[in-house]
Amino acid sequence: MRIILLGAPGVGKGTQAAFLSKKAGLPQISTGDIFRHNLKNETPLGKLAKGYMDKGLLVPDEVTINIVQDRLMREDCKYGFILDGFPRTLSQSESLDKVLNEMGSALDCAINFDVADRVIMNRLAGRRVCPNCGKTFHIVYEPPREQGVCDACRTPLTQREDDREETVIKRLHSYHEQTEPLIEHYQRRNLLVNVDAAKPIDAVSAEIEMIIDKIRLSNKEKHLIHKPFDLTAG
Ligand code: AMP
């Protein structure tokens, strides 16, 4: 199954992608995580990405597209993937189609996480992350057991540089300008499913699970319809 998760920053794509990845046994490919990993390891890619991320801007298409192309060619993507945070521009979506075409496959679904900007501001301002294991918390909605400390590995929590208010405003601006047009793009192709991501995490997970079950069923039916009868079978 090949799924993309669309939505503004802070709508919960990462949380749901991780959940779905476990549930469906598919790799989660998050371009934001790839950039942050490179940043942490001070690679040339990380240094380049930092300049854009800190300003709330998108990393240039040619850089991002190459990374995703390489990642999708890996063996673990053979039976599908969950793309979290890619595509974010029309040009990225075109290049994704191209790669999938070359692989002889196609997208099954684009899940759009719908949340108002003021809710996003609130979520991102209170988000805290563990710099060691990557677990995320929210000071109000999902607080750690001990204030400011990761439940999983006891490391002091930090705020992502790009979760500061002035950067969030810029990220939202980039989202509306460059990414939002993808909603209509996938709607026209009959691939879009909207999810009310302002609901609690569990309710969103349940809704996504239902969407995935429906796709599975429809893929199975398509397979049965296209499979010729085996007249030699006893
Ligand atoms: P995220 O964690 O998905 O919100 O991504 C954090 C930052 O990484 C974004 O604000 C962008 O600067 C960069 N980034 C992530 N994914 C993309 C993408 N598909 N295209 C361009 N930049 C991206």
For the stretch 40-85, pLDDT in tens is 999 999 999 999 999 999 999 999 999 999 999 999 998 899 999 9
Q: Per the structure block, which two tokens stand in for 156? A: 């002091």
Statement: residue 229 has pLDDT above 60? no
- Check whether 17 has a pLDDT greater than 90: yes
88 tagged catalytic: yes
- Residues 67, 97: Cα–Cα separation, whole Å: 15
Give yes or no for a contact between 167 and 56, defined as CB atoms under 8 angstroms apart.
yes
- 128 belongs to the catalytic site: no
Q: How far is the centre of ligand 1, averaged over its atoms, from the C-alpha of 178 (Å)?
A: 12
Q: What's the Cα-to-Cα distance from 44 to each of 7, 39, 49, 187, rounded to whole Å?
A: 28, 8, 9, 37
Instruction: Provide the CA 160 distance to its chain's centre, in angstroms.
Output: 17
Q: Give every CB contact of residue 63 below 8 A, 6+ residues apart in sequence.
A: 45, 48, 49
* Residue with CA nearest ligand 1 atom 15: 32
The finding on whether 48 has its CB within 6 A of some atom of ligand 1 is: no
The pair phi, psi for residue 196, each rounded to 5°, is -80, 95
Tell me which H or E stretch contains 119: helix 117-125
Residue range 104-124: average pLDDT?
A: 93
Distance between Cα 102 and ligand 1 center (Å) = 25
Rounded to two decimals, the pTM is 0.87
* Residue 210 predicted with pLDDT over 80: yes
List the catalytic residue out of 2, 50, 71, 88: 88
- CA end-to-end distance (rounded Å), the chain: 32
